Amino acid sequence: EQFQSIIMAIICLNALVMGAELEYPHPPYSYLWQCLEHIFLMVFTFELLVRLKYQGWAFLFSGTDRFWNWLDFVIVVGGIIDQWLLPIIIMIDDYLVLGHFQSHSGSMSDVLRLVRIARLLRILRLMRLIKNIPPLYTLICGIVKAMQGMSWVMLLTITVLYISALIGVKLVGPSGLLVTSATTEVSEDSPSAHARILHHGGGGSSDAETPLPVSSCFPNMFDAIFNMFKVMQMDLD
């Protein structure tokens, strides 16, 4: 447990250094960040080797923590390739092709750029903090379970909106069962009346107080669902 606590503290320190790298990317700070990155990689490589020595291949292929173990393995191996192996390969390639060492270019530069992007996987190491802090892990599990329940709430909401819109269109829609000839005439006249209100500014005329017919809220299923959703949101404009 003490060893695990030390590793967790180093992960936190590594996360802080990653943030500092973005704030102070230029020399002389950049040299410090590079040295610290190598130290962090050595520590994480040592941890991975110890766990492989202690647990064997069961570390990767059995147990409930296989996901986390594979995540550690991929991050550490990617760091070894990026920080230790790839620079050596580039130097050897430049020396064999050009006869001397120089800054990498061409296809090797593209490969290096991809590997640098893959280094963002180091951020996932912070997930281990969540896994190894019981209160935080319990909170995350609770949020995930609550989000699963929210899907059923969304389904219930959509169902209620659909049923309400269906009833509204059936009863008071353009061809609804409760629509009378008088209502139809009002519905047909309401757009022109509304246009007159807008034209005169709506000031003081009796037409300004004339409400729109209910059938205008249920012209079709799509608009009916949308209008019912607006009512749920208290958007009554």
Per-residue model confidence as pLDDT tens digits over 68-111: 888 888 888 888 888 888 878 877 876 776 655 555 555 556 66
Task: Look over the chain and give the mean of its residue pLDDT values, rounded to a whole number.
Answer: 77
pLDDT of res. 235: 73
pLDDT of res. 207: 47
In a 13 Å sphere around the CA of 71, the CA atoms on its Cβ side amount to 14
Q: Could you tell me what percent of the chain has a pLDDT over 70?
A: 73
Long-range CB contacts for residues 72-75, cutoff 8 Å, separation at least 24: 72/44, 72/47, 72/48, 72/125, 72/128, 73/48, 74/121, 75/44, 75/121, 75/122, 75/124, 75/125
Tell me how many degrees the CA angle 120-125-129 measures, rounded to the nearest 5: 145
pLDDT above 90 for 45 = yes
| Helix-then-strand count for the chain, H and E | 10, 0
pLDDT of res. 25: 87
Per-residue model confidence as pLDDT tens digits over 155-192: 999 999 999 889 988 888 877 777 665 455 444 444 44
pLDDT of res. 61: 87
Q: Could you tell me what percent of the chain has a pLDDT over 90?
A: 13
Per-residue model confidence as pLDDT tens digits over 108-143: 566 666 666 766 777 777 777 777 788 888 898 888
Per-residue model confidence as pLDDT tens digits over 208-218: 445 566 777 78
pLDDT of res. 40: 92
- For the record, the structure tokens of 160 come out as 């209620």
pLDDT above 70 for 236 = no
